[in-house]
Chain A
Amino acid sequence: MEVDKGKGEAEETRKVAEADRDTVTLKSSDGKLFEVSKEAAARLSTVLAGMIAGGSIDDNGTDLKQIGSEALENVVDYCNKHANSIPSAALISSSISFNTAPFKEPEEWERKFVDRLSHDALFDLVEAANFLGMERLLDVTCHKISEMMKGKSPDQIREVFNIKNDYTKEELEEIRQELAWAFYDD
Protein backbone atom coordinates (compact mmCIF):
# COMPACT_ATOMS: atom_id res chain seq x y z
CA MET A 1 0.00 0.00 0.00
CA GLU A 2 2.86 2.35 0.78
CA VAL A 3 4.25 4.12 -2.29
CA ASP A 4 7.26 6.25 -3.13
CA LYS A 5 6.63 9.34 -5.13
CA GLY A 6 9.27 10.96 -7.24
CA LYS A 7 9.53 14.71 -6.66
CA GLY A 8 10.34 17.48 -9.08
CA GLU A 9 7.38 17.34 -11.39
CA ALA A 10 6.22 20.72 -12.58
CA GLU A 11 3.30 22.05 -10.59
CA GLU A 12 0.97 22.34 -13.58
CA THR A 13 1.60 18.87 -14.97
CA ARG A 14 1.01 17.47 -11.55
CA LYS A 15 -2.34 19.18 -11.15
CA VAL A 16 -3.52 17.89 -14.49
CA ALA A 17 -2.31 14.42 -13.62
CA GLU A 18 -4.04 14.64 -10.24
CA ALA A 19 -7.36 15.47 -11.81
CA ASP A 20 -7.11 12.45 -14.10
CA ARG A 21 -5.94 9.95 -11.55
CA ASP A 22 -8.39 7.63 -9.85
CA THR A 23 -6.43 7.49 -6.62
CA VAL A 24 -5.30 10.08 -4.08
CA THR A 25 -2.16 10.00 -1.96
CA LEU A 26 -2.40 10.57 1.77
CA LYS A 27 0.46 11.28 4.15
CA SER A 28 0.46 10.19 7.79
CA SER A 29 1.80 12.20 10.75
CA ASP A 30 5.04 10.20 10.58
CA GLY A 31 5.50 10.91 6.87
CA LYS A 32 4.40 7.64 5.26
CA LEU A 33 2.45 7.76 2.00
CA PHE A 34 -0.66 5.75 1.16
CA GLU A 35 -2.70 5.56 -2.01
CA VAL A 36 -6.45 5.21 -1.86
CA SER A 37 -9.28 4.96 -4.39
CA LYS A 38 -10.53 8.49 -5.03
CA GLU A 39 -14.09 7.34 -5.50
CA ALA A 40 -14.14 5.36 -2.25
CA ALA A 41 -12.40 8.14 -0.30
CA ALA A 42 -14.93 10.71 -1.53
CA ARG A 43 -17.86 8.41 -0.83
CA LEU A 44 -16.78 7.28 2.63
CA SER A 45 -15.17 10.40 4.11
CA THR A 46 -16.85 13.80 4.18
CA VAL A 47 -13.51 15.46 4.93
CA LEU A 48 -11.68 13.80 2.00
CA ALA A 49 -14.66 14.47 -0.28
CA GLY A 50 -14.39 18.16 0.62
CA MET A 51 -10.65 18.19 -0.06
CA ILE A 52 -11.06 16.44 -3.41
CA ALA A 53 -13.86 18.76 -4.46
CA GLY A 54 -11.94 21.81 -3.25
CA GLY A 55 -8.75 20.80 -5.11
CA SER A 56 -6.65 20.70 -1.94
CA ILE A 57 -5.30 17.22 -2.65
CA ASP A 58 -1.53 17.14 -2.94
CA ASP A 59 -0.03 14.59 -5.31
CA ASN A 60 3.05 14.42 -3.12
CA GLY A 61 0.84 13.25 -0.31
CA THR A 62 -1.95 15.17 1.36
CA ASP A 63 -0.84 15.86 4.92
CA LEU A 64 -3.00 14.27 7.59
CA LYS A 65 -0.98 15.34 10.60
CA GLN A 66 -3.48 14.01 13.13
CA ILE A 67 -3.32 10.42 11.90
CA GLY A 68 -0.45 7.98 12.50
CA SER A 69 0.71 5.57 9.82
CA GLU A 70 -0.87 2.46 11.36
CA ALA A 71 -4.30 4.11 11.62
CA LEU A 72 -4.02 5.64 8.15
CA GLU A 73 -3.07 2.27 6.71
CA ASN A 74 -6.22 0.83 8.23
CA VAL A 75 -8.36 3.71 6.91
CA VAL A 76 -6.95 3.25 3.40
CA ASP A 77 -7.31 -0.50 3.67
CA TYR A 78 -10.96 -0.06 4.68
CA CYS A 79 -11.66 2.34 1.80
CA ASN A 80 -10.04 0.06 -0.78
CA LYS A 81 -11.82 -3.02 0.56
CA HIS A 82 -15.05 -1.05 0.48
CA ALA A 83 -14.41 -0.06 -3.14
CA ASN A 84 -13.89 -3.73 -4.04
CA SER A 85 -16.82 -5.17 -2.14
CA ILE A 86 -20.18 -4.90 -3.82
CA PRO A 87 -22.10 -2.79 -1.37
CA SER A 88 -25.37 -4.36 -0.31
CA ALA A 89 -28.58 -2.45 -0.83
CA ALA A 90 -28.84 -2.02 2.93
CA LEU A 91 -25.42 -0.38 3.09
CA ILE A 92 -26.18 2.02 0.30
CA SER A 93 -29.39 3.14 1.89
CA SER A 94 -27.76 3.57 5.28
CA SER A 95 -24.94 5.68 3.88
CA ILE A 96 -27.30 7.91 1.99
CA SER A 97 -29.88 8.56 4.64
CA PHE A 98 -27.98 8.00 7.86
CA ASN A 99 -30.15 10.54 9.62
CA THR A 100 -33.28 8.51 9.37
CA ALA A 101 -32.17 4.94 8.78
CA PRO A 102 -31.30 2.88 11.82
CA PHE A 103 -27.77 1.55 12.13
CA LYS A 104 -27.20 -1.42 9.84
CA GLU A 105 -25.25 -4.31 11.28
CA PRO A 106 -21.69 -4.53 10.02
CA GLU A 107 -21.18 -6.66 6.92
CA GLU A 108 -19.25 -9.87 7.39
CA TRP A 109 -16.05 -8.40 5.91
CA GLU A 110 -16.34 -5.28 8.07
CA ARG A 111 -16.67 -7.45 11.14
CA LYS A 112 -13.53 -9.37 10.19
CA PHE A 113 -11.77 -6.12 9.39
CA VAL A 114 -12.22 -4.71 12.92
CA ASP A 115 -11.90 -8.07 14.70
CA ARG A 116 -8.26 -8.47 13.70
CA LEU A 117 -7.25 -5.08 15.17
CA SER A 118 -5.40 -4.72 18.48
CA HIS A 119 -7.11 -2.53 21.07
CA ASP A 120 -4.64 0.28 20.45
CA ALA A 121 -5.18 0.07 16.70
CA LEU A 122 -8.95 0.12 17.22
CA PHE A 123 -8.67 3.23 19.40
CA ASP A 124 -6.56 5.02 16.77
CA LEU A 125 -8.87 3.92 13.97
CA VAL A 126 -12.02 5.21 15.66
CA GLU A 127 -10.32 8.58 16.23
CA ALA A 128 -9.10 8.68 12.61
CA ALA A 129 -12.59 7.82 11.33
CA ASN A 130 -13.99 10.63 13.48
CA PHE A 131 -11.41 13.10 12.21
CA LEU A 132 -12.07 12.20 8.58
CA GLY A 133 -15.85 12.25 8.96
CA MET A 134 -16.26 8.59 8.02
CA GLU A 135 -19.78 7.84 9.23
CA ARG A 136 -19.86 4.20 8.27
CA LEU A 137 -16.41 3.34 9.62
CA LEU A 138 -17.33 5.13 12.86
CA ASP A 139 -20.46 3.03 13.15
CA VAL A 140 -18.53 -0.16 12.51
CA THR A 141 -15.74 0.65 15.00
CA CYS A 142 -18.11 1.91 17.71
CA HIS A 143 -20.24 -1.18 17.22
CA LYS A 144 -17.13 -3.30 17.76
CA ILE A 145 -16.26 -1.38 20.94
CA SER A 146 -19.80 -1.80 22.25
CA GLU A 147 -19.59 -5.56 21.56
CA MET A 148 -16.53 -5.66 23.82
CA MET A 149 -18.62 -4.18 26.66
CA LYS A 150 -21.91 -6.02 26.37
CA GLY A 151 -22.95 -7.86 29.51
CA LYS A 152 -19.70 -7.07 31.31
CA SER A 153 -19.28 -5.68 34.80
CA PRO A 154 -17.40 -2.38 35.23
CA ASP A 155 -14.42 -4.38 36.54
CA GLN A 156 -14.37 -6.56 33.44
CA ILE A 157 -14.69 -3.51 31.17
CA ARG A 158 -11.76 -1.86 32.95
CA GLU A 159 -9.73 -5.03 32.41
CA VAL A 160 -10.59 -5.31 28.70
CA PHE A 161 -9.71 -1.68 28.00
CA ASN A 162 -6.90 -1.39 30.54
CA ILE A 163 -8.58 1.49 32.33
CA LYS A 164 -7.49 2.50 35.80
CA ASN A 165 -10.24 2.50 38.39
CA ASP A 166 -10.24 6.12 39.56
CA TYR A 167 -13.12 5.75 42.01
CA THR A 168 -12.55 5.74 45.75
CA LYS A 169 -13.83 2.83 47.81
CA GLU A 170 -16.61 5.02 49.18
CA GLU A 171 -17.70 6.15 45.70
CA LEU A 172 -17.74 2.56 44.48
CA GLU A 173 -19.88 1.44 47.39
CA GLU A 174 -22.28 4.29 46.74
CA ILE A 175 -22.56 3.41 43.04
CA ARG A 176 -23.05 -0.25 43.84
CA GLN A 177 -25.94 0.57 46.16
CA GLU A 178 -27.62 3.02 43.80
CA LEU A 179 -27.30 0.84 40.77
CA ALA A 180 -27.72 -2.61 42.20
CA TRP A 181 -30.32 -3.31 39.52
CA ALA A 182 -27.86 -2.61 36.69
CA PHE A 183 -25.12 -4.76 38.17
CA TYR A 184 -26.83 -7.88 39.26
CA ASP A 185 -30.07 -8.13 37.46
CA ASP A 186 -29.60 -9.43 33.98
Chain B
Amino acid sequence: MATLSWSDLPPDLLVLVLECLPSLADRVRLRTVCHPWRSNARQHSLPPLLTLPDGTFLSIPDGEVIRMPVPKDARCCGSVDSCLFLMEIDGGCSLVNPFSRVTVELPKLGTVGCYNSFNVTSEHKPVIPSALDLSPDSLVAMLILHDRRGSKVCICQPPIATDMSSARASWPFDDIAFFNGKLHGLGDRNKLFVIDMDYESDKPKITSIRCIISYGYGLRDLPQSVSREKVHKKREYLVECCGRLLRVRRFFQSDHHGRTSRYLKHHNTVGFDVFEAGMSANSGQWRKVNNLGGQALFVGRRSKSLPAVEHNGIQRDCIYFLRDYCPTKDPLRDSGMYNMRTGMITPLLSETVAVPQLHGGNWCPTWIFPYY
Protein backbone atom coordinates (compact mmCIF):
# COMPACT_ATOMS: atom_id res chain seq x y z
CA MET B 1 0.00 0.00 0.00
CA ALA B 2 2.78 2.43 0.84
CA THR B 3 3.52 4.37 -2.30
CA LEU B 4 5.67 6.88 -0.49
CA SER B 5 9.24 6.26 0.57
CA TRP B 6 10.45 6.62 4.16
CA SER B 7 12.38 9.67 3.03
CA ASP B 8 8.94 11.31 2.56
CA LEU B 9 8.00 10.79 6.21
CA PRO B 10 6.24 14.06 7.17
CA PRO B 11 8.45 16.45 9.17
CA ASP B 12 6.28 16.34 12.30
CA LEU B 13 6.48 12.54 12.38
CA LEU B 14 10.23 12.56 11.80
CA VAL B 15 10.53 14.90 14.78
CA LEU B 16 8.49 12.45 16.92
CA VAL B 17 10.92 9.69 15.95
CA LEU B 18 13.88 11.94 16.80
CA GLU B 19 12.39 12.59 20.20
CA CYS B 20 12.38 8.86 20.91
CA LEU B 21 16.14 8.68 20.33
CA PRO B 22 17.94 9.51 23.56
CA SER B 23 21.42 9.38 22.08
CA LEU B 24 22.68 12.56 20.48
CA ALA B 25 24.84 10.52 18.09
CA ASP B 26 21.75 8.63 16.86
CA ARG B 27 19.89 11.88 16.29
CA VAL B 28 22.75 13.37 14.34
CA ARG B 29 23.17 10.22 12.23
CA LEU B 30 19.47 10.25 11.35
CA ARG B 31 19.94 13.69 9.85
CA THR B 32 22.60 12.42 7.49
CA VAL B 33 20.52 9.64 5.91
CA CYS B 34 19.05 11.74 3.09
CA HIS B 35 18.39 15.38 2.17
CA PRO B 36 14.69 15.45 3.16
CA TRP B 37 15.45 14.04 6.61
CA ARG B 38 18.25 16.52 7.05
CA SER B 39 16.10 19.54 6.28
CA ASN B 40 13.00 18.21 8.09
CA ALA B 41 14.97 17.41 11.22
CA ARG B 42 16.04 21.05 11.50
CA GLN B 43 12.67 21.74 13.10
CA HIS B 44 13.88 19.71 16.03
CA SER B 45 16.39 21.46 18.18
CA LEU B 46 18.93 19.20 19.80
CA PRO B 47 19.35 19.57 23.54
CA PRO B 48 22.41 21.54 24.60
CA LEU B 49 25.72 20.11 25.65
CA LEU B 50 27.65 21.16 28.71
CA THR B 51 31.40 21.55 28.37
CA LEU B 52 33.45 19.45 30.80
CA PRO B 53 36.89 20.52 32.13
CA ASP B 54 38.73 17.93 30.01
CA GLY B 55 37.36 19.27 26.71
CA THR B 56 34.59 16.72 26.26
CA PHE B 57 30.87 17.45 26.18
CA LEU B 58 28.05 16.22 28.37
CA SER B 59 24.61 15.70 26.85
CA ILE B 60 21.75 16.86 29.10
CA PRO B 61 19.83 15.10 30.66
CA ASP B 62 20.94 11.67 29.43
CA GLY B 63 24.57 12.09 30.56
CA GLU B 64 26.16 10.84 27.35
CA VAL B 65 29.77 12.05 27.05
CA ILE B 66 30.63 13.21 23.54
CA ARG B 67 34.07 13.75 22.10
CA MET B 68 34.66 16.16 19.29
CA PRO B 69 37.90 17.33 17.74
CA VAL B 70 38.81 20.60 19.47
CA PRO B 71 41.94 22.73 19.22
CA LYS B 72 44.59 21.57 21.67
CA ASP B 73 46.24 23.92 24.15
CA ALA B 74 43.28 26.27 24.09
CA ARG B 75 40.98 26.79 27.01
CA CYS B 76 37.24 27.14 26.62
CA CYS B 77 36.15 30.25 28.51
CA GLY B 78 32.59 30.56 27.27
CA SER B 79 30.46 29.97 24.22
CA VAL B 80 28.00 31.52 21.87
CA ASP B 81 25.36 29.20 20.40
CA SER B 82 27.22 26.45 18.53
CA CYS B 83 30.62 28.06 19.05
CA LEU B 84 33.17 27.66 21.79
CA PHE B 85 34.98 30.77 22.92
CA LEU B 86 38.59 29.63 23.14
CA MET B 87 41.55 31.40 24.62
CA GLU B 88 45.17 30.45 24.12
CA ILE B 89 48.02 30.93 26.54
CA ASP B 90 49.32 33.94 24.56
CA GLY B 91 45.93 35.64 24.82
CA GLY B 92 44.82 34.70 21.31
CA CYS B 93 41.05 34.27 21.14
CA SER B 94 38.70 32.64 18.72
CA LEU B 95 35.18 31.33 18.29
CA VAL B 96 35.24 27.74 17.04
CA ASN B 97 32.21 25.77 15.99
CA PRO B 98 33.19 22.16 16.81
CA PHE B 99 30.34 20.84 14.64
CA SER B 100 31.05 22.73 11.41
CA ARG B 101 34.61 23.78 12.33
CA VAL B 102 33.94 27.37 11.28
CA THR B 103 36.47 29.54 13.10
CA VAL B 104 36.29 33.25 13.83
CA GLU B 105 39.58 34.79 14.90
CA LEU B 106 39.11 37.43 17.58
CA PRO B 107 41.60 40.07 18.63
CA LYS B 108 44.04 39.12 21.35
CA LEU B 109 42.50 40.28 24.56
CA GLY B 110 45.88 41.62 25.66
CA THR B 111 45.60 44.18 22.87
CA VAL B 112 42.20 45.46 24.00
CA GLY B 113 43.11 46.41 27.52
CA CYS B 114 42.45 43.13 29.29
CA TYR B 115 45.53 41.73 30.93
CA ASN B 116 45.91 38.47 32.80
CA SER B 117 43.59 36.69 30.44
CA PHE B 118 43.92 33.51 32.43
CA ASN B 119 43.20 35.31 35.62
CA VAL B 120 40.07 33.77 37.05
CA THR B 121 38.78 37.11 38.21
CA SER B 122 37.99 38.30 34.70
CA GLU B 123 35.18 36.80 32.66
CA HIS B 124 34.42 37.14 28.99
CA LYS B 125 31.11 36.80 27.30
CA PRO B 126 30.95 37.12 23.52
CA VAL B 127 27.61 37.73 21.78
CA ILE B 128 26.74 37.83 18.08
CA PRO B 129 23.77 39.43 16.29
CA SER B 130 22.61 36.19 14.66
CA ALA B 131 23.81 32.70 15.36
CA LEU B 132 22.65 31.39 12.01
CA ASP B 133 25.02 33.28 9.76
CA LEU B 134 28.25 33.28 11.69
CA SER B 135 31.13 33.80 9.28
CA PRO B 136 34.79 34.65 9.80
CA ASP B 137 34.01 38.37 9.49
CA SER B 138 30.86 38.45 11.65
CA LEU B 139 30.54 41.27 14.11
CA VAL B 140 31.15 40.12 17.68
CA ALA B 141 30.48 42.07 20.84
CA MET B 142 32.29 40.97 23.97
CA LEU B 143 31.50 41.75 27.55
CA ILE B 144 34.62 41.78 29.69
CA LEU B 145 33.89 41.60 33.40
CA HIS B 146 36.55 42.35 35.97
CA ASP B 147 35.80 41.44 39.50
CA ARG B 148 37.00 44.68 40.98
CA ARG B 149 37.20 47.00 38.03
CA GLY B 150 33.69 46.87 36.60
CA SER B 151 33.10 45.82 33.05
CA LYS B 152 33.38 47.00 29.50
CA VAL B 153 32.01 46.10 26.12
CA CYS B 154 34.40 45.45 23.29
CA ILE B 155 33.18 45.59 19.70
CA CYS B 156 35.11 43.42 17.26
CA GLN B 157 35.05 43.22 13.53
CA PRO B 158 37.26 40.14 13.40
CA PRO B 159 40.12 39.93 13.53
CA ILE B 160 40.41 43.38 15.14
CA ALA B 161 38.73 45.20 17.99
CA THR B 162 37.13 48.39 16.71
CA ASP B 163 35.74 50.01 19.83
CA MET B 164 35.45 49.78 23.60
CA SER B 165 32.67 51.08 25.78
CA SER B 166 34.98 52.36 28.47
CA ALA B 167 36.33 54.96 26.08
CA ARG B 168 32.97 56.71 26.34
CA ALA B 169 31.48 55.96 29.69
CA SER B 170 32.14 53.64 32.53
CA TRP B 171 28.83 51.78 32.47
CA PRO B 172 29.21 48.59 34.40
CA PHE B 173 27.20 45.93 32.64
CA ASP B 174 26.20 42.62 34.22
CA ASP B 175 25.27 41.05 30.92
CA ILE B 176 24.75 41.92 27.28
CA ALA B 177 22.53 40.42 24.56
CA PHE B 178 21.46 41.19 21.03
CA PHE B 179 17.73 41.73 20.78
CA ASN B 180 15.94 42.83 17.60
CA GLY B 181 19.33 43.42 16.02
CA LYS B 182 20.44 45.84 18.74
CA LEU B 183 22.93 45.29 21.48
CA HIS B 184 21.43 45.65 24.96
CA GLY B 185 23.29 45.90 28.23
CA LEU B 186 22.00 45.25 31.74
CA GLY B 187 23.37 47.78 34.21
CA ASP B 188 23.03 48.21 37.94
CA ARG B 189 20.03 49.83 39.63
CA ASN B 190 17.63 48.03 37.29
CA LYS B 191 18.83 49.86 34.21
CA LEU B 192 18.62 48.48 30.70
CA PHE B 193 20.72 50.19 28.04
CA VAL B 194 20.74 50.12 24.27
CA ILE B 195 24.24 50.27 22.90
CA ASP B 196 23.85 51.92 19.50
CA MET B 197 26.46 51.12 16.92
CA ASP B 198 27.41 52.41 13.55
CA TYR B 199 27.41 49.16 11.61
CA GLU B 200 27.97 50.75 8.22
CA SER B 201 31.66 51.52 8.39
CA ASP B 202 34.41 48.92 8.22
CA LYS B 203 35.14 49.57 11.85
CA PRO B 204 31.90 49.41 13.87
CA LYS B 205 31.84 52.05 16.59
CA ILE B 206 29.60 52.62 19.57
CA THR B 207 27.66 55.80 18.78
CA SER B 208 25.64 56.10 21.96
CA ILE B 209 24.57 54.28 25.09
CA ARG B 210 20.96 55.03 26.03
CA CYS B 211 19.09 53.98 29.14
CA ILE B 212 15.65 52.68 28.12
CA ILE B 213 14.44 51.07 31.36
CA SER B 214 15.19 52.15 34.89
CA TYR B 215 12.37 50.76 37.03
CA GLY B 216 9.82 47.99 37.40
CA TYR B 217 7.43 46.36 39.82
CA GLY B 218 8.26 43.41 42.03
CA LEU B 219 12.00 43.94 41.80
CA ARG B 220 12.32 44.08 45.58
CA ASP B 221 10.44 40.82 46.07
CA LEU B 222 12.40 37.64 46.60
CA PRO B 223 11.48 34.21 45.23
CA GLN B 224 9.79 31.94 47.81
CA SER B 225 12.81 29.67 47.97
CA VAL B 226 15.15 32.45 49.12
CA SER B 227 15.48 32.57 52.89
CA ARG B 228 14.69 35.97 54.43
CA GLU B 229 16.86 35.07 57.41
CA LYS B 230 20.11 35.04 55.50
CA VAL B 231 21.85 37.45 53.19
CA HIS B 232 21.74 36.64 49.52
CA LYS B 233 23.77 37.49 46.45
CA LYS B 234 22.57 37.91 42.89
CA ARG B 235 23.80 37.25 39.40
CA GLU B 236 21.82 38.45 36.41
CA TYR B 237 21.40 37.35 32.82
CA LEU B 238 19.81 38.84 29.72
CA VAL B 239 18.13 36.31 27.44
CA GLU B 240 16.10 36.66 24.26
CA CYS B 241 13.08 34.35 24.43
CA CYS B 242 10.39 34.14 21.72
CA GLY B 243 10.54 37.81 20.78
CA ARG B 244 10.88 38.99 24.38
CA LEU B 245 13.96 40.22 26.18
CA LEU B 246 14.13 38.62 29.61
CA ARG B 247 16.15 39.56 32.66
CA VAL B 248 16.83 36.49 34.79
CA ARG B 249 17.91 37.02 38.39
CA ARG B 250 19.70 34.17 40.08
CA PHE B 251 19.87 34.20 43.87
CA PHE B 252 22.59 32.61 45.96
CA GLN B 253 22.89 31.92 49.65
CA SER B 254 25.61 30.41 51.76
CA ASP B 255 25.47 27.68 54.40
CA HIS B 256 28.64 29.01 55.97
CA HIS B 257 27.39 30.77 59.06
CA GLY B 258 29.27 33.76 60.30
CA ARG B 259 31.23 33.98 57.11
CA THR B 260 30.23 36.82 54.88
CA SER B 261 32.56 36.25 52.01
CA ARG B 262 32.02 38.80 49.30
CA TYR B 263 32.70 36.15 46.71
CA LEU B 264 30.31 33.50 45.52
CA LYS B 265 32.73 30.67 46.18
CA HIS B 266 30.84 29.15 49.10
CA HIS B 267 27.36 29.94 47.88
CA ASN B 268 24.69 27.86 46.23
CA THR B 269 21.85 28.82 43.93
CA VAL B 270 18.55 28.99 45.82
CA GLY B 271 16.11 30.52 43.37
CA PHE B 272 15.35 32.59 40.29
CA ASP B 273 12.92 35.19 39.10
CA VAL B 274 12.32 36.55 35.61
CA PHE B 275 11.33 39.97 34.30
CA GLU B 276 10.40 40.98 30.81
CA ALA B 277 11.71 44.23 29.35
CA GLY B 278 8.56 46.17 28.50
CA MET B 279 9.70 48.68 25.94
CA SER B 280 7.07 51.25 25.15
CA ALA B 281 7.93 54.42 23.27
CA ASN B 282 7.79 56.72 26.30
CA SER B 283 8.70 54.74 29.35
CA GLY B 284 9.98 51.21 29.57
CA GLN B 285 9.67 49.06 32.65
CA TRP B 286 10.44 45.59 33.96
CA ARG B 287 7.43 43.30 34.20
CA LYS B 288 7.55 40.13 36.22
CA VAL B 289 6.73 36.92 34.35
CA ASN B 290 5.62 33.67 35.98
CA ASN B 291 6.24 31.27 33.14
CA LEU B 292 8.33 31.01 30.00
CA GLY B 293 5.54 30.19 27.57
CA GLY B 294 6.65 26.57 27.23
CA GLN B 295 10.30 27.46 26.68
CA ALA B 296 13.30 26.40 28.72
CA LEU B 297 16.11 28.83 29.51
CA PHE B 298 19.77 27.93 29.69
CA VAL B 299 21.74 30.54 31.57
CA GLY B 300 25.45 30.97 32.07
CA ARG B 301 28.30 32.40 30.09
CA ARG B 302 25.99 31.80 27.21
CA SER B 303 22.27 32.16 27.79
CA LYS B 304 19.65 30.97 25.39
CA SER B 305 16.04 29.95 25.30
CA LEU B 306 14.96 26.72 23.64
CA PRO B 307 11.55 25.19 23.08
CA ALA B 308 11.09 22.51 25.71
CA VAL B 309 10.70 19.00 24.32
CA GLU B 310 9.36 16.52 26.81
CA HIS B 311 10.81 13.47 25.11
CA ASN B 312 14.28 14.97 25.28
CA GLY B 313 13.85 15.50 28.97
CA ILE B 314 14.13 19.27 28.54
CA GLN B 315 11.28 20.65 30.60
CA ARG B 316 9.13 23.67 29.92
CA ASP B 317 9.20 26.74 32.14
CA CYS B 318 12.48 25.60 33.65
CA ILE B 319 15.75 27.49 33.99
CA TYR B 320 18.87 25.36 33.51
CA PHE B 321 21.90 26.78 35.20
CA LEU B 322 25.54 25.94 35.74
CA ARG B 323 28.43 27.22 37.76
CA ASP B 324 29.65 30.05 35.55
CA TYR B 325 31.69 31.66 38.31
CA CYS B 326 34.68 30.69 40.50
CA PRO B 327 36.00 27.62 38.64
CA THR B 328 36.04 24.33 40.55
CA LYS B 329 37.07 20.83 39.64
CA ASP B 330 33.51 19.58 39.76
CA PRO B 331 31.74 20.87 36.63
CA LEU B 332 28.31 19.97 38.00
CA ARG B 333 28.72 21.80 41.28
CA ASP B 334 25.94 24.36 41.79
CA SER B 335 24.27 23.37 38.54
CA GLY B 336 20.69 22.28 38.13
CA MET B 337 17.24 22.96 36.83
CA TYR B 338 14.92 25.46 38.48
CA ASN B 339 11.23 24.85 37.84
CA MET B 340 9.41 28.19 37.69
CA ARG B 341 6.06 26.60 38.49
CA THR B 342 7.12 24.74 41.61
CA GLY B 343 10.18 26.72 42.70
CA MET B 344 12.07 23.42 43.04
CA ILE B 345 15.67 22.82 42.01
CA THR B 346 16.61 19.39 40.65
CA PRO B 347 19.92 18.04 39.24
CA LEU B 348 20.75 18.47 35.55
CA LEU B 349 21.26 14.77 34.96
CA SER B 350 18.51 12.19 35.26
CA GLU B 351 18.64 10.28 38.54
CA THR B 352 19.62 7.05 36.81
CA VAL B 353 22.65 8.59 35.11
CA ALA B 354 26.10 8.32 36.65
CA VAL B 355 28.14 11.50 36.88
CA PRO B 356 30.91 11.15 34.28
CA GLN B 357 34.50 10.39 35.25
CA LEU B 358 36.71 13.39 34.70
CA HIS B 359 40.24 13.51 33.40
CA GLY B 360 41.51 16.89 34.59
CA GLY B 361 41.54 19.96 32.40
CA ASN B 362 40.65 23.61 32.88
CA TRP B 363 37.71 24.28 30.59
CA CYS B 364 34.93 26.40 32.08
CA PRO B 365 31.45 24.92 32.12
CA THR B 366 29.24 26.53 29.48
CA TRP B 367 26.29 25.59 27.28
CA ILE B 368 26.81 24.80 23.65
CA PHE B 369 23.93 24.26 21.25
CA PRO B 370 24.38 21.70 18.46
CA TYR B 371 22.91 23.03 15.25
CA TYR B 372 22.68 19.76 13.35
B32 near A123: Cβ-Cβ < 8 Å:
no
Indicate whether A63 reaches chain B with its CB closer than 8 angstroms.
no
A63 to B5, CA, bound (A): 25
A157 near B33: Cβ-Cβ < 8 Å:
yes
A180 to B68, CA, bound (A): 8
| Max chain A C-beta neighbours (<10 A), residue from B24, B30, B101 | B30
A70 near B13: Cβ-Cβ < 8 Å:
no
Indicate whether A85 reaches chain B with its CB closer than 8 angstroms.
no
A163 near B26: Cβ-Cβ < 8 Å:
no
A123 near B6: Cβ-Cβ < 8 Å:
yes
Nearest opposing residue in chain B for A151, CB measure: B26
Nearest opposing residue in chain B for A147, CB measure: B20
Q: Chain A residues with Cβ under 8 A from B7's Cβ?
A: 161, 163-164, 166
Indicate whether B209 reaches chain A with its CB closer than 8 angstroms.
no
Nearest opposing residue in chain B for A150, CB measure: B26
A126 near B13: Cβ-Cβ < 8 Å:
yes
Q: Chain A residues with Cβ under 8 A from B26's Cβ?
A: 146, 149-151
Q: Chain A residues with Cβ under 8 A from B148's Cβ?
A: none
Indicate whether A102 reaches chain B with its CB closer than 8 angstroms.
yes
| Max chain A C-beta neighbours (<10 A), residue from B13, B28, B32 | B32
B310 near A153: Cβ-Cβ < 8 Å:
no
Indicate whether A88 reaches chain B with its CB closer than 8 angstroms.
no
A166 near B4: Cβ-Cβ < 8 Å:
no
A165 to B35, CA, bound (A): 9
A126 to B2, CA, bound (A): 11
Instruction: Decide: A185 near B67, CB < 8 A? Known: A163-B33, A166-B34.
Output: yes
* Distance in Å: Cβ of B170 to nearest Cβ of chain A: 43
A175 near B34: Cβ-Cβ < 8 Å:
no
Q: How many interface residues does chain B have, given as a range?
A: 35 or more
Contact count A vs B, C-beta below 8 Å: 115
Instruction: Decide: A167 near B34, CB < 8 A? Known: A71-B1, A102-B310.
Output: yes
Q: Chain A residues with Cβ under 8 A from B68's Cβ?
A: 181
A172 to B339, CA, bound (A): 42
| Residues of B1-44 whose CB lies within 8 A of A | 1-2, 4-7, 9-10, 12-13, 16-21, 23-26, 28-30, 32-35
B6 near A162: Cβ-Cβ < 8 Å:
yes
A51 to B28, CA, bound (A): 40
A120, A145, A166, A185: which contacts B17 (Cβ < 8 A)? Answer: A145
B313 near A123: Cβ-Cβ < 8 Å:
no
Instruction: Decide: A179 near B34, CB < 8 A? Known: A123-B9, A185-B67.
Output: no
A182 near B24: Cβ-Cβ < 8 Å:
yes
Q: How many interface residues does chain A have, given as a range?
A: 35 or more
B2, B21, B25, B30: which contacts A123 (Cβ < 8 A)? Answer: B2
A14 to B61, CA, bound (A): 55
* Distance in Å: Cβ of B99 to nearest Cβ of chain A: 6
A182 near B28: Cβ-Cβ < 8 Å:
yes
A167 near B35: Cβ-Cβ < 8 Å:
yes
Nearest opposing residue in chain B for A123, CB measure: B2
Q: Chain A residues with Cβ under 8 A from B30's Cβ?
A: 149, 157
B6 near A102: Cβ-Cβ < 8 Å:
no
B69 near A165: Cβ-Cβ < 8 Å:
no
Interface string of B295-310 (1 = CB under 8 A from A): 0000000000000001
Indicate whether A127 reaches chain B with its CB closer than 8 angstroms.
yes
| Max chain B C-beta neighbours (<10 A), residue from A147, A153, A161, A183 | A161
A154, A181, A183: which contacts B33 (Cβ < 8 A)? Answer: A154
Q: Chain A residues with Cβ under 8 A from B4's Cβ?
A: 123
B10 near A127: Cβ-Cβ < 8 Å:
yes
B21 near A149: Cβ-Cβ < 8 Å:
yes
Interface of A toward B, CB cutoff 8 Å: 68, 70-71, 99-103, 119-121, 123-124, 126-127, 130, 138-139, 142-143, 145-147, 149-154, 157-158, 161-167, 175, 178-183, 185-186
Q: Could you show 13 A-B contacts with beta carbons less than 8 Å apart?
A: A101-B310, A103-B19, A127-B13, A130-B10, A142-B17, A146-B18, A146-B21, A147-B20, A157-B29, A157-B33, A165-B34, A178-B101, A179-B29
